[in-house]
Structure 1
Amino acid sequence: MRRTAATHTYDEDMTMRHYPTDLLLAVEHVERALASGALAPLDARLRHAGVTDPLRRFDSGRLFEGLDRLLGGVCQYPWQPLTDRDDVLELGPAGTVVLDDGRAEATLRGLLLAWALGNRVTLRSARPQLWEQVMTALREAGVPLPPGQVTGPGAEAPGEPLDVPALPDGADLAVDCRAGWTQGLFRLRHLPGVSLDQARSEDHDERAGRLAARLRYLVARARRTPYYRELPDITGDGDLTALPVLEKAALEAHSLPASRDLSSGDPASGEVLRSGATSGEPRYIVYSRTDWDNMVREAVPMLYALGLEPGDRVINTLFGGGMYGGLTTTFSELSRMPVESYATAQFVTVDDLLMLTGRFDANVILGMPALILPLLRDAKKRRPELRVEKVIYGGTPMTETDKTWLRQELGARVVSSILAANDGAQLGYQCGFLGGTVHHVNDDYNLIEVVDEAGRPVPDGTTGELLVTGLQKFEGPLIRYRIGDMGRTYEHRCACGVSGRVLEYLGRSDGLVRFKGETVLYGEVFDALAPFGVSQLQIEVATEGSREILTLRTEAPSPPDTGAVRELLVEAFPVLGGYQDFDAALDAYELRIDSLAEGGLPRNTVSGKVKNVIDRRLEGVR
């Protein structure tokens, strides 16, 4: 049984938590002002006090790198998710930091790092005007910063003075952040039995504090790109709807290889993935080194929540190669965890599966239903005693019939789903207490909105289109990206200990089929076929001469009789039969059924996915 997370406060007098990203924005503001000459008087005062290169001391990029390593992830603050077990360390400010101004350069570093970690600062100095001017310049960024005061030398102040040593020759802020003196700026507490999502879900500062700070930082970083240069300032998560929706066509037009409009211009680092390109040309998704680190840090706790445990042996069959992301991302994540992984990718065979489960005692399989279900069924026929303890899947939904087969025939006690996309990595996950297509969401990583066609938020529980804002991806940022999926969100207190929003995933927003002037939903047709054990469905609409042909292709372990499928569908959806709102004598429409064995439908060679809806009536139309 997991512990219930509690809100922990290290300094009861602090009325709000402060975030290192806000201090970074303040430093960036001063950095720009110094570079432009707008703070020439402050530059002169600092130089006169012995700070030989003030601009270098306000290097926001190097400060970010240093803080990211010191905190185990700036964007996860105030928690550090552990990798060897499913709980967290919680960071908090020391409280009040006292700085005695001997060397101005050391005092400046002490002030910046003390504020970055949320401490109030008392600065005792014989040159108070200098430090008041520094604090004022930082506050002019307009972001929340901790309290700070300047007093005379030797004035009474609570707390022990912090000794900040001189910076060695050649060192910079990134290195300095890991020096021993910084340990006096924060407190670290282990929360045994409390997962990252539990800690977040019980945090009273979620919307007004934590997510608002993440959004402020994202928008500021996004403005470095040509595409987002004119984004307005925002102060909190309530301002999100003031930002424009990013449509897929715009993303494709402004991303590589078509354009560098979503690139920051920073030195190249990290990993580049390609889209599955089920239609059109592939697009390339850039993750900087920081973006990649953030993705992995957020994914490891999610994999624990999905049911992975230390000592598990994982057959990873996700698609890889050709720069596609499924195998690459999970390889990076599993390599941080105390599990043994066998990265077979999509090339896995029944012989591989039987060898790994037999000789290596593999107990987990990770992959897409379209690949692993036929594989597992064949393996079961060859080895009737086959058992697989955990099945973790993504890419496409899995039917309840298939989940039941896994539990009854393979003894699977965990059958859990990941929602993810190459564009922004993980979107949601299922714990052991969620079923169907309901997923926990991680708004700290990918903030999900549900909106109508015009991009306006809809009430909780209402179905709409999903917009995704990646709060921890800064290269090729995604802000209110219409990802092409449908769903609804609502509040849920889960038995796993995580409270907050969950997402019921309702499929692709292009899963609408117009036939005989009426709309048929792909998901409803798929659900209606459950009695036949259908695992995959593809609907194609095309024209032959003057006739419109609707073809339904199914995959199932035992392909059903096409006549029985037709009869069920026509009863459930009269529009698919002879019903029509016009002259019945017109032979204008036809329903065709194609019943295939598993693996019979064509897969995308990169992503392995089956295209759900094909509308060939649009081919050639511009």
Structure 2
Amino acid sequence: MTRHYPTDLLLAVSSLQRDLADDASSPVARLLKEADLLELGPLLDGDALAQALDEGLGGLSQFPWRPLVDTDDVWEHEPVGHVVLDDDRAGNTLRGLLLSWATGNAVTVRTSRPALWQAVFEVVRGPGFPLPAASTAMPGAAVAGVVVRVPDLVVSSDGATAPSGELFAAAGRPGTPSVRIRPASGQDGPRAPVADIDCRAPWFRELFTSTYLAGTTLDAARRADPESASRRDARLRYLVGMARRTPHYRDLPRIDGVADLGRLPVLEKETLEAKSLPRSPELSSGALPSGEVLRSGASSGDPRYIVYARTDWENMVREAIPLLRALGIGNGDRVLNALVGGGLYGGLMTTASELSRMPVEAFSAGQQVTADLMLTLVRDFSVNVLLGQPALVLPLLREARRRDPSLRLEKVVYGGTPMTESDKQWLRDELGTRSITSILAANDGAQIGYQCDRLGGTLHHVNDDYNLVEVVDEDGVPLPDGETGHLLITAMQKFEGPLIRYRIGDIGRLTSYDCPCGIPGRVLEYLGRSDGLLKFKSATVYHGDLLAALEEFRVSQLQAELVTRSGTETLVLRTESREDLDEDVVRSALVAAFPVLGDSHLYDDGLRMFELVVECHPEGALPRNPVSGKIRTTLDRRLN
């Protein structure tokens, strides 16, 4: 049976809602008025219906699964298949129809007014989104399927004035199930939207079955799903439909799915900055404010502010908890969270939200962590997991190890900046660390990929249900797997301040790889910032290649700065290492590995056109961004 998705029903309802708002005398409005359905404003509120279904199904963006937080398992929801509704009241019938379709069921309405309901079916199908089948039958006809009785909503408080319309009655009909509403004194009805009441009521649970998949992770369920293509198509349709509520994306074309992704424009960083708050409301939907606002680290320019509406934030947390488990964090772990926080920066904020839902004990120290605090937490609280940024925590770990040679740390999860293989080996040798894993993320769109402890180099697993990753050329044209290009992300579960084909400023390539951890499929080889290309002397050198060449010197951080000094193009390479390095030795090794760095370009008159300068610093000596804690890896300050 073809799977249908609640998001398509939501798009249809939202389109109908807009039509009614634009023209109260339209044929659609006349039809609903004739059927006494115009009083059903709460049911035709797409946002309220979306919120109710999100709560009732445990996540619209995770449907048909509901991930659990106390285990790494999922519940799987499946429609009962065919729902039969008796048309005793038009309002009840419409409630049953919409929620039955939302959960993927075909519907038969047993009614004495079949023409009306056929017209309603056509109206809701009018926008063209894929919805389940629907038909009518005569009252009392034998129809195969699950008969669902949609209850009346009954105001039961004495003296309260019931709202007019089909949804409410002063008393329930004999033999008819009802949901009783008891308003506070002086109130005349429920404050919660009708959809919210329905999605919490027992009758809603009759529309689908739930199976507990013991030992099946969300990622495993998705990868084994035969409907994975249609699922992502539905995700993208919904994202584009939601994005069209913003002025910037108002004219986006309607698309069917991922195959149409190339028809959508690339979102450049300059455009994102210009169209985002506080500079402009162009990427805002105008919805009631909710959720969290983060800011970029501004390591390469002015900060920008990133809005996560309440559902966006909830989606991020739902997706991150299985990811953190895949990174090795398990029940009962004690986690020192040393990611950067404050100033609206998201590292500490997001992970603290995620860890708070998990059965772990978290110590959220942020960048205020010290070597003494590390030792105290490991000794007195048995902290066994460190979550942090290598540029900040590695110097502290080495100092803590110097003070207490018995220091041991079972797991390290890092993000923000790369960790060299020599640093990983130091953790294994000196601290007994058995699991070292990383998250690839951005404040704009949260997690992009992750590296389990079985992946090497810069390979990362990707989750296209959360951030759909593309590799494109300079013009935004998709490149085949295996070719290096610019990374675009489409944030599939972020609907306020949407990011569609956003060029994040990084480069990489996608390849197929069957990881020893058991996860097959595409992996992203992350190759660093796109501004990590150093161009000089008609040559190009990658920052990542330079850092890799310095492994033998146990260099943890590398900053490359291009400047013009007295007319000479100069490359200044600044290293951080736990070793006491000789700058001349390091320079000679680099020239041997990269001849273009040498002094081969001297003119007859002795004019020097290029110079390589190496500066060797201890760990922690290079300046960090005050917000993100990162080091500027490349700077180009040459005179134009």
Give the structure-2-normalised TM-score: 0.92
Correspondence for 2:456: 435
Alignment of 1:15-34 (within 5 A): 16-34=2-20
SS in 2 for 1:102: coil
Q: Secondary structure in 1 aligned to 2:555?
A: coil
Q: Distance in 2 between matches of 1:76 and 1:151?
A: 34
The one-letter amino acid paired with 2:589 is L
Mapped contact 2:602–2:609 kept (Cα < 8 A): no
One of 120, 132, 137 as aligned partner of 1:146: 132
Contact 1:42 1:133 in 2 (8 A): no
Q: CA deviation at 1:159?
A: 2.3
In structure 1, the residue matched to 2:395 is: 374
Residues 1:537 and 2:558 aligned together: yes
CA drift of 1:35 comes to: 2.2
Equivalent residue number for residue 120 of structure 2: 134
2 CA distance for matches of 1:183 and 1:217?
A: 24
Tell me which of 159, 165, 188 is aligned to 2:145.
Answer: 159
Q: Which amino acid aligns with 1:471?
A: M
Amino acid at match of 2:214: P
Q: 1:39 to 1:221 in 2, by over 3 A?
A: farther
| CA–CA separation in structure 1 for the residues paired with 2:477 and 2:383 | 47
Contact 2:601 2:609 survives alignment (8 Å): no
Structure 1 residue 523 corresponds to structure 2 residue 544: yes
What are the equivalent positions in structure 2 for 1:302-381 lying under 5 Å apart? 302-381=323-402
Tell which deviates more after alignment, 297-306 or 377-386: 377-386
- CA 1:180/1:528 → structure 2, altered by over 3 Å: closer, same or farther? same
3-state secondary structure, aligned to 1:484: strand
Report the Cα offset of residue 183 of structure 1: 0.5
Task: Give the aligned length.
Answer: 604
- Matched residues in 2 for 1:28 and 1:51: separation? 16
Stretches of structure 2 lacking an aligned partner (at least 5 in a row): 155-167, 169-188
List alignment gaps of at least 5 residues for structure 1.
1-13
* CA distance in structure 2 between the partners assigned to 1:394 and 1:339 by the alignment: 20
CA distance in 2 between partners of 1:224 and 1:399 (Å): 44
**Within 2, Cα distance between the matches of 1:95 and 1:217?**
23
Contact 2:75 2:211 in 1 (8 A): yes
Q: Which amino acid aligns with 1:180?
A: P
Tell me the CA shift for residue 492 of structure 1: 2.4
Q: Deviations over 1:349-389 (max 9, x none)?
A: 01100000000000000000011111111111111111100
**Pair 1:214-2:200 in alignment:** no
Distance 1:557 1:336 in 2: 37
Matching residue's letter, 1:546: G
2:215 to 176, 183, 193: 193
The match for 1:554 among 575, 578, 586 is 575
Cross-structure match for 2:160: none
Q: Residue deviations 1:502-525, cap 9 Å, x none?
A: 111110011011122221111111
- Name 2:46's counterpart in structure 1: 60
1:176 paired residue number: 198
Query: Matches of 2:308 and 2:443 in 1, distance apart?
Result: 10
Please give the secondary structure, in 2, of the residue aligned with 1:190.
strand
d(CA) in 1 for partners of 2:516, 2:224 = 14
SS of corresponding position for 2:531:
coil
Moved over 6 A (4+): none
CA-to-aligned-CA distance 1:291-344 (integer Å, 9 cap, x gap): 100100000000000000000000000000011000000000000000000000
Alignment of structure 1 residues 83-94 onto 2, 5 Å: 83-94=69-80
**Distance of aligned partners of 1:476 and 1:139 in 2 relative to their CA distance in 1, 3 Å threshold:** same
Query: How far apart, CA to CA, are the structure 1 residues paired with 2:566 and 2:402?
Result: 46
Is the Cα–Cα contact under 8 Å of residues 602 and 608 in structure 2 kept in the other structure?
no
CA contact (8 A) 2:335 2:363 kept: yes
* Secondary structure of the structure 2 residue equivalent to 1:570: helix
In the alignment, what sits opposite 1:6?
none
Q: Is residue 2:320 matched to residue 1:299?
A: yes
Residue 274 of structure 1: how far off its partner (Å): 0.7
**How many angstroms apart in 2 are the aligned matches of 1:49 and 1:522?**
68
Tell me how far 1:38 sits from its aligned partner. 7.1
Write the distance in 1 (CA, Å) between the matches of 2:310 and 2:127: 27
1:493 alignment partner, SS class: coil
Deviations 1:80-127 (A, max 9, x none): 111111111111111110101111100000000000000111111111
Secondary structure at the aligned position of 1:407 is classed as helix
Secondary structure in 1 matching 2:206: helix
Deviation of 1:588 after TM superposition, in Å, equals 2.4
Contact 2:79 2:104 in 1 (8 A): yes
Deviation at 1:494, TM superposition (A): 2.8
Question: Contact between 1:94 and 1:185, CA under 8 Å: does it hold in 2?
Answer: yes
Take 1:493 and 1:134, find their aligned partners in 2: how far apart are those partners? 49
Three-state SS of the structure 1 residue aligned to 2:335 is strand
1:289 and 2:310 equivalent? yes
Matched position secondary structure for 1:510: helix
Kindly provide the amino acid, as one letter, of the partner of residue 159 in structure 1: G
By how many angstroms is 1:40 displaced?
A: 3.5
CA 1:178–1:516 in 2, change beyond 3 Å: closer, same or farther?
same
- Cα distance change, pair 584–203 in 1 and its aligned pair in 2 (3 A): farther
Aligned residue among 408, 419, 428 for 1:398: 419
Is 1:119 the counterpart of 2:120 in the alignment? no
After superposition, the Cα gap between the structure-2 partners of 1:41 and 1:252, relative to the gap in structure 1 and judged at 3 Å, is closer
Match of 1:256, SS state, is: coil
Structure 1 position 165, deviation (Å): 0.5
1:479 aligned residue (483, 500, 513): 500
Match of 2:57 in 1: 71
The aligned counterpart of 2:275 is 254
- Structure 1 CA distance for aligned equivalents of residues 485 and 294 of structure 2: 28
Q: What is the letter of the counterpart of residue 196 of structure 1?
A: L
Partner AA of 2:92 in structure 1: A
* Contact 1:272/1:284 (8 A) holds in 2: yes
Q: Which residue of 1 aligns with 2:532?
A: 511
- Taking structure 1 as reference, are residues 518 and 178 closer, same or farther at Cα in structure 2, changes over 3 Å only? same
- Counterpart in 2 of 1:10? none
Structure 2 residue aligned with 1:280: 301
